[in-house]
Amino acid sequence: MKILFTADLHLLRATQERTLLKIREWITRYRPDAFVVAGDLSSAQQAADTLKSLRRCFLHGPIAVCLGNHDFWMLGDSRSEPDSLSGIVDRYWLPAAASLDIVLLDAGNLHLQGITIVGGYGHYDLGFAVPGLAYDGILVTEEDYARGSPSASSALRWRDFQFMPCEHPLKEVAREQVEGLRQRMAAAADCRTLVVLHTPPFEELLGVPPLSLAQAGSGPSAYAFFRAYLGNRSMGVLLREAQANLVAVVCGHTHRRAGPLNLGRTIGINIGSDYGAPKGALFLSDSNRFERLLD
């Protein structure tokens, strides 16, 4: 069985046609048995149109998607909209997915011949933050990370907190994401399982320089602050505990390629797509290996 994976499509007006054309080219050339997207498809209000576009690319085969942080963004005047991630899922993504026979991995699993696809969003537990990060001698705090800026006066912003309707603490949301994945993995029972997350669960899949380089030099880069939002390390703890039936892990989010590489008995890959420049990989289930697709 061949499963086509991609991530971070960001189907924006300026780049949508180019991105969808590449997907159609992949499907025509490689003839996958299933098609899976690891998050950041568009935004909440675009859910129906986005999933229709994906279904038009792959008319009759199984499709599964997990959501990314951008897929929870509410753009424009959204004061009357859902105030939680689950509310966004229930109002926008689940109905659209169900109407198009697309599996939303944040809510259920995709069962294929010989393998089950399990997944979800992931979020951030601050596990990849730079320890002891300080600017001008002032330590960055959890309150700074919750605000999305290293200081109240900084122009740098992690924009999720402007558009994502989530009033719960970062670590609480991250724990909820881990528990949701745990339950869906349990539902897969003893099946061979492939996990698809938007945010990376392992340091090796971030695709960015290691912490030793992030801390080097005369002072931290302004962008060292954003390392905290690269993934959910607690997900990795769960996955390492579940390696008996876990054959592979796929993620995106950082727009940086990593892998395929061995993570114990599991293979991991970060797809590494960027805006208007989608990347893809085929998973060959008979041999448990990934093949990156040519650009």
Taking the domains of the chain in order of start, what are their residue ranges? Answer: 2-292
pLDDT of residue 212: 62
pLDDT of residue 214: 52
Q: How many CB atoms are closer than 10 A to CB 191?
A: 17
Cα distance between residue 103 and residue 244, in whole Å: 25
Helix (H, G, I), strand (E, B) or coil at 5: strand
* Residue 274 DSSP code: B
For the CA atoms of 266, 270, 28, 99, the dihedral, rounded to the nearest 10 degrees, stands at 90
Q: Which residues pair with residue 186 across a beta bridge?
A: none
pTM above 0.85, yes or no: yes
Cα distance between residue 219 and residue 13, in whole Å: 39
Cα distance between residue 185 and residue 197, in whole Å: 13
Class of the domain covering 2-292: alpha beta
Q: Which residues pair with residue 270 across a beta bridge?
A: 251, 258
**230-265: b (≥16 Cβ within 10 Å) or e:** bbbbbbbebbeebeeebbbbbbbbbbbbbbbeebee
Q: How many CB atoms are closer than 10 A to CB 287?
A: 8
pLDDT of residue 13: 85
What values do phi and psi take at 165, rounded to 5?
Answer: -80, 75
Cβ–Cβ < 8 Å for 259, 269: yes
Cα distance between residue 22 and residue 270, in whole Å: 18
pLDDT of residue 218: 56
HEC-encoded secondary structure of 117-182:
EEEECCCCCCCCCCCCCEECCEECCHHHHHHCCCCCCCCCCCCHHHHCCCCCCHHHHHHHHHHHHH
For residue 211, give the H/E element and its range.
helix 211-214
Q: How many CB atoms are closer than 10 A to CB 84?
A: 15
pLDDT of residue 22: 97
pLDDT tens track of the chain, all 295 residues?
999 999 999 998 888 999 999 999 999 999 999 999 999 999 999 999 999 999 999 999 999 999 999 999 998 755 457 788 999 999 999 999 999 999 999 999 999 999 999 999 999 999 999 998 988 888 999 999 988 888 766 777 888 888 888 768 899 999 999 999 999 999 998 889 999 999 999 999 999 987 765 554 556 777 889 999 999 999 999 999 987 899 999 999 999 999 999 998 899 999 999 999 999 999 999 999 999 998 7
Q: How far is CA 267 from CA 229, 260, 270, 288, in A?
A: 23, 6, 11, 8
